[in-house]
Structure 1
Amino acid sequence: MMKGRGTETPSGPPRTVRCRVRGGTGAVMAHRACQPLLPTGNKYLQQKWDAAAYDVHRGKVKSARPTINTTPPKTFTHLTVKLKNLKLEEERATKMRGENDMLAEKIAHIARTGGGVDNRNYYDRKSLGEKKRQLELLRITQENQRILFRLSQCRSHYNPRSWRESWLQTLKVMDSIAHYPRDRTSQQKGQGNPVEKVSAGATADSPARPEADCKAEGEKRRGKEPA
């Protein structure tokens, strides 16, 4: 038996081979029985074993993993579906719906009532310190009233009557010690006797000084006899 000629694979069909024979060369059909590569005692069992080994080999080839990982990376749900953005969009849509409802209600109210300008403020002005200011103003008013009452009930400690008498006495002393009479200078200036003016404004308790006495006193100071 020649090795390498007229053989077939365990799972393949028989093939036609060319072999050299005596008397010429021609095509010869190989035998359909299994032709194992190695010597064996039973060709049929060896064929089954070879077929099983070939199937295992093909399975390993199909399931072989590459040395370099070229598969796409894993996709995570929280990266593709962003729940935060969805929540914000939902809140914004809810706010817009509320504003639209309010606007529609206002438009309906205007359509029912005919419209108008609502520019009145129906509220009372309130202040945190209003009560305190009122109490302070009341206290100041009461104090002013008490001061006014004390001033109205107060009596003066000075006596204008004694002042007037003291001033008349001073005028007399001034006339008695003067070198020249006081009425002379006043007459030259076209004015009256200041003593007479003061005496004219005096009361009944301080009678006016007679003009004749003033003249006599002046002539006496000049060294003349009265006329």
Structure 2
Amino acid sequence: MKKNTVLAFDVYGTLIDTQGVLAALAQVMGDAAPAFSKQWREKQLEYSFRRGLMRDYVDFSVCTRNALDYACLALKQPLEESTRQELMAVYKTLPAFPDALAGLKAAKEAGITCYAFSNGSASAVEGLLQHAGILDYFTGVISVESLQTFKPNPDVYQYLLNTAETKADNAWLISSNPFDVLGALNHGMKTAWVKRSDEAIFDPWGEEPTVVISNLTELVSSVDSHLI
């Protein structure tokens, strides 16, 4: 492993399981919870894309809350304000995926510099990673809030490279989100797509991730095999 390799980990959906909100949703709406969670997450991302294109930045938590309100309307779940606030609070304590700790430990043992790289605010991400017990594995948290835009704006990936004091050839974006992987590829970075489900589809844009892994325990060996 080259010692100057930098790994930038997406947080929501890659290290942290956004479906960790399902238990709380199930207590509120029973069998409707999976569909509601899916709608909530999809709209959260859509709102961040739209805000970025409109150059109308808000904290990612605002996108999350707006998406929650949309899901309530779309799926006819008239939740009380107190319940909505409780669900938003759950987002601050979402669990890490089971393989996250082992994958980060392997990277640290290999001497790789790791950053958390997120659409979320630095304070929110730090709190989330601290709660999940994995914050100490990162050299730092790099948030889009400094630029007031969202992934996959190319400026965000350049900001990552500048902050990490590295070049695209030495930097890897690790993400389960295809839009994020494509954004990093577009900026010349290497990428690892974390395909956690056989049903996951990578956007057919004529570009492919540098490596595809099913969980983070495969990351170090996969990255190492692609270094010259």
TM-score, reference length from structure 1? 0.19
Larger radius of gyration: 1
Greater percentage in strand:
2
TM-score, reference length from structure 2? 0.18
